Amino acid sequence: MHPSDPPGAPEQADTQLHAVLAMDLETGAGERLRLDVGVRYDESDPLVVQLHFNPPTAAPLVWTVSRELLLDGLDRPSGQGDVLVRPLDGPEVLIVLRSPCGEARLYAPAAALEAVLLRTDLLVPVGEELPPGALERELSLLLPPTGP
């Protein structure tokens, strides 16, 4: 990524996408702190998007999130458990990340997040993440044989 690229502009290799999105982290006091969050997508793991956080006072942190969950969350509340995504009135999407240590509430610009997710579709179209028959082959390895 070049310093003059606009926020959310991706760096793209043949098989990967790297972008930086400015998101707001809500503090316990209800204030918002601006964070640059790295967004990475790799066609070798096409079902997920990685969110990279580099807080100034802690070790880097990576959350792996379903690409489909992020896409769904642009239009309607989605997810349960550790990751929730929902559109808000206005130009933002709320991403909630939960762990045993607590909860992070991130506010992402919906248009920038959507633009990055649409670019992942250029690498691996949604619905084509697994080659035909891949799921059946994997299941056959896990399930006991049937029949005589």
**Of 58 and 132, the one with more pLDDT:** 58
CA distance 106 to 85: 10
What pLDDT is recorded for position 4? 39
What pLDDT is recorded for position 132? 60
Q: Which CATH number fits domain 11-142: 3.40.50.2300, 3.40.50.700, 3.40.50.300, 2.30.31.20?
A: 2.30.31.20
Q: Which stretch of 1-5, 90-94, 107-111 has the lowest confidence by average pLDDT?
A: 1-5
Q: What is the pTM of this model?
A: 0.76
> Is 117 within 8 Å of 70 (Cβ atoms)?
yes
Q: pLDDT tens digits for 15-28?
A: 889 999 999 999 88
Residue spans of the domains in the chain: they are 11-142
Q: Provide the CB-side half-sphere exposure for 131 (13 A, CA).
A: 5
Q: Identity (one letter) of the amino acid at 143?
A: L
